[in-house]
Copies of this chain bind each other. A is one copy, B any other.
Amino acid sequence: MLSIGDLSKRTGVKVPTIRYYEQMGLIEAAERSEGNQRRYERNDLERLAFIRHARDLGLDIPAIRELIALSQHPDLPCVNADRIAADHLVAVREKIEKLKKLEHELERIISHCDGHSIEDCYVIRALSDHGLCEGEH
């Protein structure tokens, strides 16, 4: 039987975050000690590691909730789980694309400034006028 602090140390998930996940329905409400403190078992540890890993990979809470639900029906086909991952990959790629455009534009803007007065500053001028940009954002 682990306290919430033990669980936290072993998974690297902070104590308030564990309580938050319980509130969000990712973790079942834990058993309680006589003094009303949460007590966890080994499978809670696995569940929490799963959640943490999914979060580290950028999945949001509704997606994780769905994956947990799916993982409890081992006989079902896994298309839905695969789709969640694939959709997330698409979203990640879109973010990368947007950020690359920003990176490109920022590089260009910064390199065009000679670093003298604000009056001539290309950074300020570029911000004032999107017409100076190469692409859209």
Contact = CB atoms under 8 A, between A and B. Distances in A.
Interface of A: 46, 49-50, 53-54, 56-58, 67, 70-71, 73-79, 81-82, 84-86, 88-89, 92-93, 95-96, 99-100, 102-103, 105-107, 109-110, 113, 115-121, 123-124, 127-130, 137
5 contacts: A46-B128, A75-B119, A77-B117, A81-B124, A96-B99
A95 B95 CA distance: 9
A77 B56 CA distance: 42
Given A53-B128, A85-B123, A128-B50, A71 B118 contact: yes
Copies assembled: 2
Contacts of A73: 118
B57 A118 contact: no
A90 to B, nearest CB: 10
Considering residues A53, A95, A116, A137, which has the most beta carbons from chain B within 10 angstroms of its beta carbon? Answer: A53
A78 to B, nearest CB: 4
Nearest to A99: B96
Contact of A92 (B54, B89, B102, B119): B102
